[in-house]
Amino acid sequence: MDSQIPTGLPSEAEAANELMRLARQINRANRLYHAEDAPDISDADYDALVRRNAALEAAYPHLIRPDSPTNKVGHEIAASPLGKVPHEVRMMSLDNAFTDEEVAEFVARVRRFLSLSADEPVALTAEDKIDGLSCSLRYEKGKLVRAATRGDGQVGEDVTANVAHIKDIVPELTGEDIPDVFEVRGEVYMEKGAFLALNTHLMDEARAAAEAKGEAFDDSKVRQFANPRNAAAGSLRQKDASVTAKRPLRFWAHGWGAASHVPGTTQHEVVRRIESWGLPVSPQFRLCGSVEEMLAAYRAIRDGRAALPFEIDGVVYKVDRLDLQQRLGFVAKAPRWALAHKFPAERAETVLESIDIQVGRTGKLTPVGRLKPVLVGGVTVTNVTLHNRDEIARLGVRPGDRVVLQRAGDVIPQVVDNLSREEDRPAFAFPDHCPECGSEAVAGEGEVDVRCTAGLICPAQRTERLKHFVSRTALDMEGLGDKTIDEFFAKGWLESPADIFRLRRRREDILALDGWKDKSVDNLLAAVETKRRPDAARLLFGLGIRHVGVVTARDLMKRFTTLPALRALAEQAHVKEGEEAVVAASDAYSELISIDGVGPVVVKALGDFFHEDHNRAVWDDLLSEVSPPDYVVETKASEVSGKTVVFTGKLETMSRDEAKAQAERLGAKAAGTVSAKTDLIVAGPGAGSKLKKAAELGIEVIDEAAWAEIVKAAG
């Protein structure tokens, strides 16, 4: 997802559309993060969405929506086997700051609200903001009676049985001045080392399970946790508490909710009292008497972040005096007396030791930087993509350079600066020949990517194309994972797609390999046999012809029904140098170009593919092994049947091709441009001019989440 949310103010109509999209995006992100423990955007991207939403609502308060995320905390708990728990005192979230100036303004705002003079002291506490799962512990007469997650702030999930296995959470408070009722609030988290060990354990478990079933093990299919926060949330919210018991979870307290009485008059005093009862608090919890001290605490915590055994993403400030907290109160979903000062994207310096060139399925040469290992954002980074030839030139990087890496949230690290740019050394020479096969590598007109021209005779492209051929969106073959294809290719058993269907002749050879048993080999061969009458569009897409995506393959097969008919016309439409005008006037070219979604680029790609002898040989060989039936489009009745739908902007949960395929299955026509004939627009971030035109034409606009509901309703 692109975190560069537009900063300018749009027109009122555009603002209304953008607020609608933002509400859906933020609510969806909240659901994935809080309810499903499966976030798909980084914290930085999420914060950018929230800030943009707040800016638009401030500029157009009359456009604030009933479903505005401004008034929501977390996400509503759906049906849960753990049971629901209402919070007696709502669990709030915090407003964020990203700069020193915003922190100073927060303190000034507190002073203005309380009518305090500039020299009147305002003490605040500061502590690191741990990246965990919010949890409330209700103690009655000192004994733990209930534990609940935050949920949507008003209702959470009952995790009482699960927290009993967290060693930091005591079943009974001990010490002085313990209230009859006291809800301790804090974070359940998992340390970085435990997180890595857990993922290793999950991998080992999956390997053992595959061996027990006599199946080949494919580590790419093992579901592991993305980060320690997800691991903590997934471990705490287990239906079976015995699973939680095996996970090394930790807890620390940072506040409280319902209380029969509060044992202190300041935040600092009460937190220290909670600590005296046997519950841990942040070791970096401290009292600050000025903005300067707050920022000094922030910098100290930030600078020591990498050495901490757990993940943190900022510093939390709270007004210390509880009577001032009460006067300040709350606004929307957050207290006026607290603020989260978030860390910027983490950066680190290291040495670029070498630049390797990898060759992908389409022949693209991608430069990969090999780094001296460095810790960035809690992750040890050893490799980084340098994207393409132009990016290397822009950064001026060469092996031996000292570079700056940046990593925000869970996004892939990137090189943002070259500290050795001025050193007098030769520039990196990007190869003009493929490192795998030695064939010429060139960039097409107007393209930045350099590609190997060898096609299927290049070994790197062969293995990548074989992996694409069996992938989920192509033939979807079970049992043929990346490692298996690499192994079989190295043995000389797989060189083209047709060889997959001849693997039955290799049964004894496969059995002789480590990790293969009778059952796993038979399962693989049976999976292959089920694909001998494949869907023609999937087969066409699986061949990896440039510019022929999922939807384009469907569009072509809808017109031609059979693969031989498509090939015949594509060969006639091949464009030879100097004959462009002649071919463009041909019947074959005209017929291809008339297909919705097929333009000159696709026609040229098809013609070029069938012009190559080795591609025709692969095609003929494959069709000697498989017999795809005539292509027939099956559609479902839906609320968009018979309508024209346009997808615009950046889709976040699916590719544009997949979205168009969904529209087709629902009986709709997916168009590329907005016109008076358009019935519906599905808009993602960066939709731009198409939204403006939709507003002018009065066309209904929905976001990706609403489209998903339409697809779901159709069954």
For residue 37, the 8-state DSSP code is S
Residue type, 558: K
Please give the Cα distance from 336 to 334 (Å, whole number): 7
Strand partners for 648? 683
The mean pLDDT value for 462-471 works out to 90
Q: Are strands 96-97 and 338-342 parallel, antiparallel or unpaired?
A: parallel
3-state secondary structure of 307: helix
State the burial class of residue 568 (Cβ atoms within 10 Å of its Cβ: 0-12, 13-18, 19+): middle
Strands in 96-97's sheet, in edge-to-edge order, are 96-97, 338-342, 312-319, 124-130, 286-288
Please say whether the dihedral angle defined by the alpha carbons of residues 228, 229, 234 and 236, taken in this order, is positive or negative.
positive
Instruction: Report the first-to-last Cα separation within the chain, whole angstroms.
Output: 28
**Confidence label for 445 from pLDDT (cuts 50, 70 and 90):** low
Of residues 593 and 579, more confidence is placed in 593
CATH number of the 12-72 domain: 1.10.287.610
Dump pLDDT digits (tens) for 220-253: 667 778 778 888 988 998 888 888 999 999 999 9
Helix/strand number for the chain, H first, E second: 26, 24
Q: List residues with catalytic annotation.
A: 129
Of residues 261 and 373, more confidence is placed in 261
Residue ranges in 502-599 assigned as alpha helix (H): 507-511, 518-529, 536-542, 550-560, 563-572, 580-584, 587-593
Question: Quick one: pLDDT at residue 2?
Answer: 40
The mean pLDDT value for 378-382 works out to 73
The mean pLDDT value for 1-29 works out to 68
- Residues above pLDDT 70, as percent of the chain: 90
Residue reference for tokens 């930045």: 448
Q: Enumerate residues 6+ apart whose C-beta is below 8 A from 338.
A: 94, 95, 316, 317, 318, 319
Question: Quick one: pLDDT at residue 664?
Answer: 79
Do 688 and 649 meet the contact criterion of CB atoms below 8 Å apart? yes
The mean pLDDT value for 697-713 works out to 86
3-state secondary structure of 517: coil
Radius of gyration, alpha carbons of the chain: 30
Please give the Cα distance from 224 to 201 (Å, whole number): 10
Q: List the domain boundaries for the chain.
A: 12-72, 96-342, 345-452, 455-529, 536-623, 644-714
Closest CA to 205 of 240, 480, 197: 197
The mean pLDDT value for 463-476 works out to 89
Please give the Cα distance from 628 to 539 (Å, whole number): 8
Residue 481 sits at the vertex; the CA angle it makes with 475 and 486, to the nearest 5 degrees, is: 110
The mean pLDDT value for 431-457 works out to 83
Dump pLDDT digits (tens) for 329-346: 988 678 999 999 998 877
| Homologous superfamily of domain range 345-452 | Nucleic acid-binding proteins (2.40.50.140)
Of residues 466 and 11, more confidence is placed in 466
As assigned by CATH, the class of the 644-714 domain is alpha beta
3-state secondary structure of 584: helix
HSE-up of residue 319 (Cα within 13 Å, Cβ side) = 24
Q: Would you say the CATH fold of 536-623 matches that of 455-529? A: yes
Residue reference for tokens 């020479």: 429
CATH number of the 96-342 domain: 3.30.470.30
Residue 211, phi-psi category: left (phi > 0), alpha (psi -120 to 50), beta (remainder): alpha
Question: Quick one: pLDDT at residue 220?
Answer: 64
The mean pLDDT value for 98-123 works out to 92
| 60 token code pair | 């157009």
Q: Enumerate residues 6+ apart whose C-beta is below 8 A from 205.
A: none
Please say whether the dihedral angle defined by the alpha carbons of residues 253, 257, 263 and 266, taken in this order, is positive or negative.
positive
Dump pLDDT digits (tens) for 252-286: 999 999 999 999 999 999 999 999 999 999 999 99
Residue 668 sits at the vertex; the CA angle it makes with 666 and 669, to the nearest 5 degrees, is: 140
Of residues 51 and 166, more confidence is placed in 166
Query: What are the C-alpha distances in Å from 307 to residues 191, 193, 248, 304, 376?
Result: 12, 12, 19, 6, 11
The mean pLDDT value for 436-442 works out to 86
Fold (topology level) of 455-529: DNA polymerase; domain 1 (1.10.150)
**Confidence label for 61 from pLDDT (cuts 50, 70 and 90):** confident
Dump pLDDT digits (tens) for 115-168: 998 788 899 999 999 988 999 999 999 999 999 999 878 888 999 999 999 999
Do 455 and 439 meet the contact criterion of CB atoms below 8 Å apart? no
Please give the Cα distance from 694 to 701 (Å, whole number): 7
CA 219 to chain centre: 20
Strand partners for 190? 249
**Confidence label for 77 from pLDDT (cuts 50, 70 and 90):** very low
| 468 token code pair | 């694409």
pLDDT reading at 12 higher than 60: yes
Q: What is the mean pLDDT of the chain?
A: 86
Query: What are the C-alpha distances in Å from 376 to residues 42, 48, 408, 410?
Result: 15, 21, 9, 11
The mean pLDDT value for 494-504 works out to 94
Question: Quick one: pLDDT at residue 3?
Answer: 40
**Confidence label for 365 from pLDDT (cuts 50, 70 and 90):** very high
Burial of 409-436, coded b for 16+ CB within 10 Å and e otherwise, reads: bbbebbbeebeeeeeeeeebebeeebeb
CATH number of the 536-623 domain: 1.10.150.20
Question: Quick one: pLDDT at residue 8?
Answer: 58
| 32 token code pair | 């994935």
Ranges 323-332, 667-676, 685-694, most confident: 323-332
- If one counts every other C-beta atom within 10 angstroms of the C-beta of residue 8, the result is 5
CA 45 to chain centre: 10
Please give the Cα distance from 383 to 352 (Å, whole number): 9
Of residues 129 and 585, more confidence is placed in 129
HSE-up of residue 693 (Cα within 13 Å, Cβ side) = 16
pLDDT reading at 190 higher than 70: yes
pLDDT reading at 182 higher than 80: yes
Please say whether the dihedral angle defined by the alpha carbons of residues 218, 220, 225 and 228, taken in this order, is positive or negative.
positive
Question: Quick one: pLDDT at residue 379?
Answer: 66
